[in-house]
Structure 1
Amino acid sequence: MIDIHSHIIHGVDDGPANMAESLKMIREAERLGISMIVATPHYQEEVFGLERLEENYKELLYKAKDYEVAISLGYEVFADPDGSALFKNKRRLSLNKSGAILFEFPFNASPQKCIELVFKLRMQRITPIIAHIERNRPFINRFENFVELIKAGCYIQMDTASIVGVYGSGVKEFSRRLLKMKFVDMVASNAHCASDYIDWYREAFKNVSNWVGKEEAGILFHNSPKSLLDGGYSEELSNAKILKWEKLV
């Protein structure tokens, strides 16, 4: 399995406070069968500069070299409606330099502003991946907002915690609905500590397997993330999802 959203770098955001905690997260990921983790610290330019984040990442790589888990770098970028800071750093901020950037929207964000930002990003040849949109109230309350977001040209990453009910039964049910309709492109841990892997990851894989089948679960937890990181993601998956939705309404 490949985890494209994990806060394993110590001392840079609300993830592990020290190296020992980072290594414990990697041990648990290895035990679960995760072969690769993309470290995605929160990125807001005014809080931490890229140099500080990348220095801690290099230290983690050195300390984790004996584990059977590859670690690459990306960022979880807080969505800025202007986006100008992203355009100048788009290669550096992307997941494993793939050209795809992981974004986090404010939980009560205006759907229209989110959609407009996705259009802007695509104009700059950035592939947006939207993290844990299943937890954003405006999209839960109005499904059409979610579909319009996908039509704008983004991919969807769902959190394991949402799938197991950590954020309540409403989020869990919305997550199940999105998965069954094949609107989700990949599932990731969004882990901030070792217990996030221990408590949620295996159960999430089991739930997804029960809802959509084990083969589809393998695509969401491994094949799609691998394709993304290999630079092979295309428009076809989003187009297929839109066509499926149009047949259902």
Structure 2
Amino acid sequence: MLVDIHCHILPGVDDGAPDMETSRAMIRDAYEQGVRYIIATPHYRPEMFEPSMKKVIRVYHELRDYAEEVGIGLRLGCEYYRNEQMIRHLDKKLRPTMLGSRYVLTEFSTNDSFVTVRNYIYELITKGYRPIVAHVERYFCCQEPERIQELKKLGAQIQINADSVLGYEGHTIKKFCAGLMKDDLVDFIGSDAHNLEGRKMNLGKCAAYVRKKMGQDYAEEIFVDNPRRIWKSR
């Protein structure tokens, strides 16, 4: 049983699944790979991805019903792109956290400075939120393990993408992710799936790879136990 905490599976709300047919196919693919729970995390990025919550909730409920028929529990979250209004939006519940918990999947610019990343993480934590840094391997300022360690000491949790672990984003990123896992700096691996082709669901394939490289206990912690803490924290 795998849990995917980062997935752009809701249709027509961001650059993920373009329509309900694609979303349903992604659900079936996820089930075949052993995924049993998914947190849908549509983008929220001012001036780029600002889907209406009315539409997000409508398509979420429609897809959730289908997912339950297939055998997957679908829940709602959000991938927040860091912005100056972030805390205000969270406090006013203008966008969902992860399952309504205090966990917030937080995205940064690839070119953000480490000071920017650290400051946003610090502010979220001081306001009572639990930031999960989305696909940390993408950020140029976080390419040193010491930087990841500093974020974790602040209280952040770290997510990397399945495709990065598998090497689909290049050998350098694959090696970096392997190092993070060996140093026990990874809390979650998410699919970050967007469609059926270029950015498809590879969580099952990744889990098999991680079991081979890191052992069953480690894979269970990353793909099952840690995601369960989000559910339990609500």
TM over 0.5: yes
Asked whether the 8 Å contact 2:89–2:95 carries over to 1, the reply is: no
Pick aligned residue for 2:82 from 74, 79, 84: 79
Cα distance in 2 between the residues matched to 1:86 and 1:151: 25
Structure 1 unaligned residues grouped into runs of 5+: 233-249
Which residue does 2:166 correspond to in 1?
164
Cα distance in 1 between the residues matched to 2:118 and 2:6: 22
Q: Share of identical aligned residues, percent?
A: 30
Amino acid at match of 1:50: M
SS of equivalent residue, structure 2 residue 4 = strand
Greater mean deviation of Cα atoms: 209-218 or 32-41? 209-218
1:5 aligns to 2:13 (yes or no): no
Deviations 1:101-123 (A, max 9, x none): 10111111111111011111111
1:190 aligns to 2:192 (yes or no): yes
Asked whether the 8 Å contact 1:29–1:197 carries over to 2, the reply is: no
Greater mean deviation of Cα atoms: 44-53 or 187-196? 44-53
SS of equivalent residue, structure 1 residue 97 = coil
Deviations 1:53-93 (A, max 9, x none): 22221222234341100100000010115534433245852
Greater helix share, structure number? 1
Greater mean deviation of Cα atoms: 111-120 or 208-217? 208-217
Which residue does 1:245 correspond to in 2?
none
The 3 A distance-change label for structure 1 pair 17 and 87 is closer
Greater mean deviation of Cα atoms: 73-82 or 84-93? 84-93
Q: Number of paired residues?
A: 230
Asked whether the 8 Å contact 2:90–2:96 carries over to 1, the reply is: no
- Give the C-alpha shift of residue 137 in structure 1: 1.5
CA RMSD of aligned residues (A): 1.9
Cα distance in 1 between the residues matched to 2:78 and 2:138: 19
Deviations 1:19-71 (A, max 9, x none): 00000000011111111100000012552232222222122223434110010
Which residue does 1:33 correspond to in 2?
34
Structure 2 unaligned residues grouped into runs of 5+: none
Cα distance in 1 between the residues matched to 2:219 and 2:142: 23
Deviations 1:219-239 (A, max 9, x none): 10111101222218xxxxxxx
SS of equivalent residue, structure 1 residue 173 = helix
